[in-house]
Structure 1
Amino acid sequence: MILKTAEKAKTLHIIDFGILYGFQWPILIKFLSKRDGGPPKLRITGIEYPQAGFRPAERIEETGRRLANYCQRFNVSFEYKAIPSRHWETIQIEDLNIKSDEVVAVNCLIRFKNLHDETIEVNSPKDAVLKLIRKINPSIFVQSIVNGTYNAPFFSTRFKESLFHYSALYDMYDTLICRENEWRLMIEREFLGREIMNVVACEGLERVERPETYKQWQVRNLRTGFRQLPLDKEIMDNFRGKLRAWYHKDFVFDEDNNWMLQGSDMPVMPYLLNLQLCDEYSS
């Protein structure tokens, strides 16, 4: 969707909330380099939590250097700005250095689940970040989320829902990967284990895992003033073809109300769904 939006752009500016290591961008850079008439200039503003220690921006800046090397390899003009921030809702539009002659795309890959909501703060950071994106007025906003129901303020409800969610994930892993696999053990220890600990053991500001369902995000997005784009039929058909050819039979791919849904069709449907919402609106 971003590639299509930028097909006539001289400059493409991507604002990425939660850029982390930037692994989501090399494939786009490669396609931009093959564009008829030559690639546009690519600007990326990477927003990420600062790392602990004396160099809070080091990891985000390293992401920029890695992407710059990749752009140089494919002859794509590149500019990068790192914004280390613990509170994304405090970022101002002036910090983003948006120019009038560029196509702007906003992206967030499953990181809005770490923003606090109105159960913690009266002025919800989730809504505040959406309002910032609305103010940016991008040509496209691509939002991918973890579809989760384990954000209840009450422990018993949260424990039950998180049990459903993570047990379904482990069922999926058991189907695809043996339990002794080193990569699986690393993911379970470094990612899933920490998430489960945070969901179950932490309360208040200390609980940073706060996913919502895509229907809850739908309400937030519409309330903020976004208008959904229909999913591209050609892209969806391409995904379905690759799913049938390459993926496990229990992997499911669907759409609902212009959300792209991905998950695993186990006895308990895992709530690990990668959803994409594209919003485009005029001033």
Structure 2
Amino acid sequence: MMQFSETPLLPLHHEISSYSNNVTMNKNPFHRTRPLTGFPTQKAIGGFGDANCMEQLLVHCANAIESNDATLAQQILWVLNNIATPDGDSNQRLTCGFLRALIARAAKIGTCKMLTAMAQSNTNLTLHTHKFSVVELASFVDLTPWHRFGFTAANAVISEAIEGFSVVHIVDLSSTHCMQFPTLIDLIANRPEGPPFIKLTVAGATADVPPVLDLSYEELGSKLMKFARSRNVGLEFRVIPSSWSDGYASLIDQLVSGDRKLGVGEGEALIINCHMMLHSIPEETFRTLFLKAIRGLEPTIVVLVDEDADFTSNNLVCRLRSAFNYLWIPYDTVDTFFQRGSKQRQWYEADICWKIENVIANEGLQRVERLEPKSKWVQRMRNAEFRAVPFSEEAVSEVKSMLDDYAAGWGLKKEEDDLVLSWKGHNVVFATAWLPA
């Protein structure tokens, strides 16, 4: 089990001074860089394999890049390049992702010309995210409970909330392209009083944020409606072009409009389903306005599922530390179900690398990964005049049963009214449900 401590940042010379300076340069992206006196031999490089040491090297490198110390940055990157192999253990692969992200940041800043040239000349730094078919994506999200936990918890509370309604309007803000809903359709298809008619309104996801689909949302909607018909469930599917960058303002406008096609109809159950997308809203003002607008719609229930971490700091080093001490989890879990070198593992880790690069290399609206801890969202929902709804024993039982399909390291925590997915005791994803207060 990997453990990460809040180790104080040591001076760089303290970490490397005990190593020999007799270095044989290999052919690598940093072959032009001559290591400073005191940098390790190839044999001694193995001593840097500890996760805490790798984290400190990354922090030193980030500080060097931010202070435009190109010489120091290049020397640290040389060490990192030799210890952080893309096909090594989970620590090494995690660090390789951050190495790639730091070089991308240096290239974007443009102040370290040598690093910029390295980034442009090294094809190994290019991210290749896979475009999934619907079948591939469905299998992909089933690999771990990372998404299935939220799907299962949300579907359980939604199915309970819509009892007695003949029409259900679901507004979906999800990063997984409606992969949640086949299971929900199956869940309600055999309702004793007959299944409700479902109006599904989807905010179109950003095209370049993984996972990426290889078909349009219109094609996706057609497939989903066909599936619903096979279960004797009526389904309307709508996509509203809307952006997280303005807090989904156009989506809200159309929901509150008098347009009977898009607006919320009288007597309908209104479900707001937020699965790992609200954190992309870039400003606190927009987040507050979005929740207040949703509150004004008097929804039947709001489900909020997201990753339990904090990527919001404006300080690069703080952000790097937080991301490093959270994103070791998917690298650690992937070894439980993928063999080294498999195509599926490459797809999985490319998506994690995209997230790392977005957190580290980008600022402003380009940085969409702005995760916040559960406590922050709980307070924000309360401020917007929502009250938490506890998950029923049946819902908890369903989540526990789902986790039985996965490795023993996955666990479930109950924190007040909320559910939290954990890996080896570390919080991963939280699920919360809310009613208008």
TM-score normalized by structure 1?
Answer: 0.87
Q: Contact conserved, 1:19 with 1:48, CA < 8 A, in 2? A: no
Q: Does 1:94 align with 2:276?
A: no
Relative to structure 1, the CA distance from residue 179 to residue 274 in structure 2 (aligned partners, 3 Å threshold; closer, same or farther) is same
Query: Greater relative contact order (Cα 8 A, min sep 6): structure 1 or 2?
Result: 1
The aligned counterpart of 2:170 is: 14
Q: Does 1:75 align with 2:236?
A: no
Higher-strand-fraction structure: 1
Q: Contact conserved, 1:231 with 1:259, CA < 8 A, in 2? A: yes
Alignment of 1:4-153 (within 5 A): 4-18=160-174, 20-49=176-205, 51=207, 59-86=216-243, 87-91=246-250, 92=253, 93-94=255-256, 96-118=262-284, 124-153=285-314
Aligned counterparts of 1:280 and 1:61: Cα–Cα separation in 2: 31
Q: Does 1:280 align with 2:435?
A: yes
Aligned counterparts of 1:163 and 1:19: Cα–Cα separation in 2: 22
| Cα deviation code 1:39-73 (max 9, x no counterpart) | 11111111123548xxxxx7222222121111111
Alpha-carbon offset, residue 20 of structure 1: 4.9
Q: Does 1:170 align with 2:170?
A: no
The aligned counterpart of 1:200 is: 360
Aligned counterparts of 2:235 and 2:376: Cα–Cα separation in 1: 36
Q: Contact conserved, 2:418 with 2:431, CA < 8 A, in 1? A: yes
Counterpart code for 1:226: F
Uncovered stretches (5+) of structure 1, i.e. residues with no partner = 53-57, 119-123
Q: Contact conserved, 2:199 with 2:235, CA < 8 A, in 1? A: yes
* Equivalent residue for 1:239, pick from 399, 404, 416: 399
Relative to structure 1, the CA distance from residue 135 to residue 180 in structure 2 (aligned partners, 3 Å threshold; closer, same or farther) is same
Aligned counterparts of 2:174 and 2:266: Cα–Cα separation in 1: 24
Q: Contact conserved, 1:45 with 1:83, CA < 8 A, in 2? A: yes
Aligned counterparts of 2:375 and 2:206: Cα–Cα separation in 1: 30
- Which entry has the higher C-alpha Rg, 1 or 2? 2
The aligned counterpart of 1:121 is: none
Q: Contact conserved, 1:226 with 1:280, CA < 8 A, in 2? A: yes
3-state secondary structure, aligned to 2:388: coil
Q: Contact conserved, 2:374 with 2:430, CA < 8 A, in 1? A: yes
| Cα deviation code 1:105-135 (max 9, x no counterpart) | 11011111211123xxxxx222222122111
The aligned counterpart of 2:380 is: 220
| Cα deviation code 1:176-235 (max 9, x no counterpart) | 43332321111111x111111111111122211100000010110000010111111122
3-state secondary structure, aligned to 1:32: helix
Relative to structure 1, the CA distance from residue 178 to residue 50 in structure 2 (aligned partners, 3 Å threshold; closer, same or farther) is closer
Q: Contact conserved, 2:168 with 2:198, CA < 8 A, in 1? A: yes
Q: Contact conserved, 1:20 with 1:60, CA < 8 A, in 2? A: no
3-state secondary structure, aligned to 1:280: strand
Q: Does 1:261 align with 2:423?
A: no
Counterpart code for 1:246: D
Aligned counterparts of 2:175 and 2:421: Cα–Cα separation in 1: 21
Q: Contact conserved, 2:270 with 2:301, CA < 8 A, in 1? A: yes
TM-score normalized by structure 2?
Answer: 0.58
Give me the identity figure in percent.
24
- How many pairs are equivalent? 266
Write out the 4+ residue segments of structure 1 that deviate beyond 4 Å after TM superposition: none
